[in-house]
Amino acid sequence: MPLPKSINTIASRLANADLTQREEDVRRAILKAFGTSGTSLTVGDIITLVQGLNRHDLSRICCKLAERDLIVWDETGQCVQSAYPFSGLPTAHKVHLKDGPAVFALCAVDALGMPVMLGQAAHIVSRCAHCDAPIEVAVSDEGLGQYRPRDSVVWFPLAEDVCCPVAQSRCPDINFFCSTEDRNAWWQARDRPEGLPMTMVEAFEAGREIFGSLLTRSASNPG
The radius of gyration computed from the CA coordinates of the chain, to the nearest angstrom, equals 17
Domain match, 74 and 24 both: yes
pLDDT in tens, 96-112: 999 889 999 999 999 99
- Answer yes or no: do 129 and 198 share one domain: yes
Please state the rounded mean pLDDT for residues 37-57.
86
- Higher confidence at residue 178 or residue 73? 178
Q: Is residue 219 assigned to a domain?
A: no
CATH number at residue 33: 1.10.10.10
pLDDT tens per residue across span 64-94:
999 999 999 887 777 899 999 999 999 999 9
Domain that holds residue 17: 10-84
Q: pLDDT > 70: what percent of the chain?
A: 93
Look at the chain and report how many structural domains it folds into: 2
Q: Answer yes or no: is 223 within a domain.
A: no
**What average pLDDT score do residues 36-62 get?**
87
Task: Tell whether 216 is covered by a domain.
Answer: no
In a domain, 152, yes or no: yes
Rounded CA-CA distance 21/76 in Å is 26
- At 222, the pLDDT band (50, 70, 90 cuts) reads very low
Burial 67-94 (b: 16+ CB within 10 A, else e): ebbbbbbeeeeebbbbbbbbbbeebbbb
pLDDT confidence of 208, banded at 50, 70, 90?
Answer: very high
Phi and psi at 57, nearest 5°, equal: -65, -40
Distance CA 145, CA 137 (A): 7
Residue 223 has pLDDT above 60, yes or no: no
In a 3-state reduction of DSSP, which class is residue 151? coil
| Interval 33-51 mean pLDDT | 87
* CATH code at position 152: 3.30.450.410
Average pLDDT, the chain: 89
What is the predicted pLDDT for the residue at 161? 66
Q: What pLDDT, in 10s, does the model give residues 191-202?
A: 766 889 999 999
Domain boundary among 84, 103, 137: 84
Closest CA to 211 of 108, 118, 107: 118
